[in-house]
Structures are given as C-alpha cells and as structure tokens.
Copies of this chain bind each other. A is one copy, B any other.
Amino acid sequence: MSDTTISGAPALTDEAARLDAADELRAKRDAFALDDAVYLDGNSLGALPRGVPARLADVITREWGSLRIRSWEESGWWTAPERIGDRVGHLVGAAPGQVVVGDSTSVNVFKAVVGAVRIAQARGAHRDQILVDEATFPTDGYIAESAARMTGCTLRPVAAADVPTAVGPRTAVALVNHADYRTGRLHDLPGTTAAVHAAGALVVWDLCHSAGALPVGLDAHGVDLAVGCTYKYLNGGPGSPAYLYVAHEHQPRFDSPLPGWNSHADPFGMEPAYAPADGAVRGRVGTPDILSMLALEAALEVWDDVAIEAVRAKSLALTDFFLRCVGTYVPAGRVASITPVEHERRGSQVALRCADAGAVMAELVRRGVVGDFRNPDVLRFGFTPLYTGFADVERAARVLAEVLADGPADGRAGEPSESGVAG
C-alpha cells in the first residue's frame, strides 16, 4: 500500500518523514507493544506498555503467590490507590493528596456528583439543580440522573458550551466533559469553572478524553471535583480503575455516598460507627482491585520523562496533519469533520461524518487502520502522541481515501450503516 497514485501523496509522505524525524517524543513508541497496523483507537483502549507484562507476572507470582496477605503491607498494596492517584494527579495538574484511583468512572461520577451536591447544599442557599452536558458519554447522564433522584435534585441537560449561561442560583453542580467523546471538541475548562463558581455552584469535570492528551490544570483553574478513566490516553489496560479528584479545599466537607471501609479513618479498627479519613483517601470505597491497579501503575511509568505540554503540541500537530492529509486525499464532500478547527477547541481526536461509516470503518480495520465507529455516521480517530507518528497519520488518511474510492458509490449518503461497533 506504500505506492499509490493518490494525488498529493508523495509530498505528504515526505513531510510525514520530516515531522517524524523532528519529533522529540518519537522514541516513546518503543515503550509500547505495536504492530504494523496504524492504531488510532487509543482513545478507546490505549496500547500495551511493554513494562506491564513483567510487572504483572511479578505481582501475581511473587506478591500474591508467595507473600500472599503480607503484600497488603510489604508490597504496598494497601496504599496503592492514593500512591497511583498522585501519579495520575501529576498528569492532570493536581498536587499530591487529591486523587485516588479505584472503581469505574461511573461509580466515581456518582461519588463526585452526590458529594458536590452535598457541599453546595451545605453552603445554605437552596440549590436543587444538577446541570449535565447534554452530549455527554451516556453513563455520566444516567448516573447524574440517579444522583439527582437520590439527593432530591432535578437534572437539567444543557450543551456544555452553554453551562456558563445556564448556571444560576438554583444550580448545585454542573457535570461537564472536558472533551466530547464523539466530536472531539474540547470545552473551556477555565472559563466554565469560573462561571460556575461565580454562580456559587460546583463543577465536576469528566476528563476521560483529555487526561494524558493535553494539560488539564485542575489546581490552576480551581476545579472542584473531577473523574476520569485510565484506559484511554493513560494506557492502563482494559477496564483499568478510574480516579476521583477532590480539591483540598473541599475534602473536609466531602461526604461520600459510598463510605466503604477503605475510606474510614481507622479501617482496621473495625469500628461499627463510620468516621471518614482525612484527605483523598475519603474517596476510596472497598478493597482495591490490585492486579488492574498495579498494571496501571506500571503503565504510568512511560510518563516519567514526558512533559504534558510536549504531548499537547504533538497532538495538535498530528490532528492538524491528519485533517490536511484527509483534505488532500479524500474527494470533496465524501467526509466532513465535526471536530473543531481551532486548536483551543480541539481534543486529541478527529471525528469525520461519513456515509456508510460502519462499513467504511470495517474496511479500514481490514486494511490495517484501526479507528472506531460511533452511531450513526461517525468515523472516530484518536491520536496518542506517545506512540502515533506522522507517517501513521498520512497512511491512515491515504487508506481512508482508497477505501472510499473502492467502496460503493456514495448514493447511500444519509442511510448510514447501523451495524454497531463491530462495524
């Protein structure tokens, strides 16, 4: 597939080679298990960091198999949620002591939203509304609805961009995605946070599609609470534990709806009465899932010498270059980007609206370019700067053009495939 007659390809191929040669993150690719495919689905499941298999083998065989219960103390299992939380925190601009890892994103959304409502209501004013990003990945909306029902609030879906104007004296909390999972649009975290605060409410940010791809600056922007997963740009593995950020200033009033024994001030005292621990530990619930958690810890080692600003710069360069390659290779009108052009409104993915998107993505995967498909008509390509190169980007755009050229005529535009994730 390297020789092609697509117009413009030689020039862009040369440019990709120059960009790769100048890429200061290029060597990081060797830290991941990759093959000949162009993997542009790291925004769904990050690739395997090469250090993980040996670390997990040691955790299983020695720490569990040989030390057994002694490992809760001797191997640092018990404190893993806050220790790894600090590592994640570093990547999203949180000083130590504010992040714990554990549970799923959904469960952490529940803790964060209920906890935020309780803090807002304890301030005295009558606040009984929860604003939620109306285009959110669905689980946040489902869980926010449950949180609203269980705290006597009502849920009001609004566009993320409209939160600053929708927030008001009745608002307890706004739950907003930093980057939209479908369009890749990056929302204004500093401005939205400031607007929510000006109205006396709290904001919970969902960082699933931004953490590890760009600077978040939780502390710098005064974010109240945040959640996120670790299996996308943080490469923690399938279903690796999520995290919860509770800013220092809110920790003394954070009142978790899931006060499990791991969040007790004296967990081994086995006291019948609950007394919450101080600090981020208050966000823990039950016994931490050690195998998945220590796989995540090993995966995070690839970040040791990486600046998130360099990641962001490369991410924007990759998505810029992809849009240029698509614009050059793909016949006009065949796809339309729904990802914002402006850098400050773009995350680390490009979403292209395309007729027959499901069938097109299946063929792309067959030809070694792995993205994913989102109902009803979106081709989604995620760019992980730690392991995606410019030649990958050029190849992805070129294969997309080939698939579209080879495929059925686009007479079926407006009748997209509904065949689901499998394609």
Query: Which positions in A face B, CB cutoff 8 Å?
Result: 33, 35, 39, 41, 44-45, 47-48, 52-53, 56-57, 60-61, 63-66, 68-69, 71-73, 77, 103-107, 110, 134, 137-139, 141-143, 145-146, 150-151, 157, 182, 229, 231, 237-242, 256-262, 264, 268-272, 274, 285-293, 295, 370, 372, 374-375, 420-422
Contact = CB atoms under 8 A, between A and B. Distances in A.
Q: Which of A134, A238, A274, A287 has the most CB of B within 10 A?
A: A238
Contact of A104 (B47, B142, B287, B421): B287
Nearest to A59: B238
7 contacts: A71-B238, A106-B262, A107-B260, A110-B257, A142-B261, A239-B291, A268-B375
A420 B269 CA distance: 8
A56 B421 contact: no
Given A150-B150, A241-B289, A290-B237, A68 B41 contact: yes
Given A103-B104, A258-B146, A260-B143, A60 B53 contact: yes
Contact of A150 (B145, B240, B257): B257
A286 B293 CA distance: 16
Contacts of A295: 60, 291
6 closest Cβ contacts across the A-B interface? A104-B286, A106-B260, A106-B286, A48-B65, A238-B290, A139-B261
Given A106-B258, A260-B143, A288 B237 contact: no
A295 B268 CA distance: 27
Contacts of A421: 72-73, 268
A366 B239 CA distance: 38
A33 B48 contact: no
A292 B374 CA distance: 28
Given A106-B286, A239-B287, A60 B56 contact: yes
A289 B33 contact: no
A105 B287 contact: yes
Given A52-B60, A60-B295, A237-B64, A138 B272 contact: yes
A150 B147 CA distance: 10
A147 B272 CA distance: 16
Contacts of A374: 270
A96 to B, nearest CB: 23
A235 to B, nearest CB: 10
A202 to B, nearest CB: 19
Contacts of A238: 63-64, 71-72, 77, 287, 290-291
A53 B295 CA distance: 14
Contacts of A288: 239
Most chain B beta-carbon contacts within 10 A, residue among A105, A260, A262, A268: A260
Contact of A146 (B73, B105, B138, B259): B259
A264 B60 contact: no
Nearest to A47: B68
A260 B142 contact: yes
Nearest to A365: B70
